[in-house]
Structure 1
């Protein structure tokens, strides 16, 4: 092993500067003043299937063309896509950063949002599934980390 504790501090500080998780995003949204714009970077069919309440829909392929007209330059942007098996949120965050915005990626995507038991909005309203015990404690929606 060649890294030092200083290397680790730098690496993990950068991780926290550029990434957030679904629990922190949920807590911020529930506060009523999240301090960021939540951007769903998935396509139209995925958006119609379900999205995080309050998210802005802007597919990754449209960010360069439409982002400046849709995004407020003041708050940072938090991007999400499907989940850990998808790099769509990373590509969206890169496209947003190229426009000059502060940006973070929400790790876990909508998959972990749903698996942690948070509500998903459709045209029919907001639905919630029970938390998956493999990703979240069943006694309450918090990991206590």
Structure 2
């Protein structure tokens, strides 16, 4: 027996959210999307996901069309699960007509899961936090 309400909910949720593992796999596979760090310049310089572009939430409306071609899927992130900045950025992109997904966990979980990070000085090597990612394994297989 199928619970249609639950199925609809999770289908919709998965179409609007993604996680660090799936984003990294998509990057490695060359999937066509733009990963957007929506935080301030200071936060970007402190550290960001390798492959991301910097477009602060407050500048999306003015800059997105010139920097991200129409029809390009976008994945946005902010600091962490305790921050709704990514949601605000996703809304801004959606209002402009972009296909957009939120990176759940934000930059915090990208970094804690051991995916590539760089800061204003270059690459930053971080160990996987065993509370959020598999140590010594390529993916969580979830």
Q: TM exceeds 0.5?
A: yes
| TM-score range relative to shorter protein | over 0.9
Q: How many correspondences in the alignment?
A: 141
Q: Is 1:49 the counterpart of 2:49 in the alignment?
A: no
Identify the residue that residue 25 of structure 1 maps to in structure 2: 23
Cα RMSD of the aligned pairs, angstroms, is 1.2
The runs of at least 4 aligned residues of structure 1 exceeding 4 Å deviation read none
Identify the residue that residue 126 of structure 2 maps to in structure 1: 129
Identify the residue that residue 91 of structure 2 maps to in structure 1: 94
Identify the residue that residue 11 of structure 1 maps to in structure 2: 9
Tell me the secondary structure at the aligned position of residue 135 of structure 1: coil
Identify the residue that residue 60 of structure 2 maps to in structure 1: 63
Q: With the length of structure 1 as denominator, give the TM-score of the two structures.
A: 0.92
Tell me the secondary structure at the aligned position of residue 136 of structure 1: coil
Q: Which runs of 5+ in 2 are unaligned?
A: none
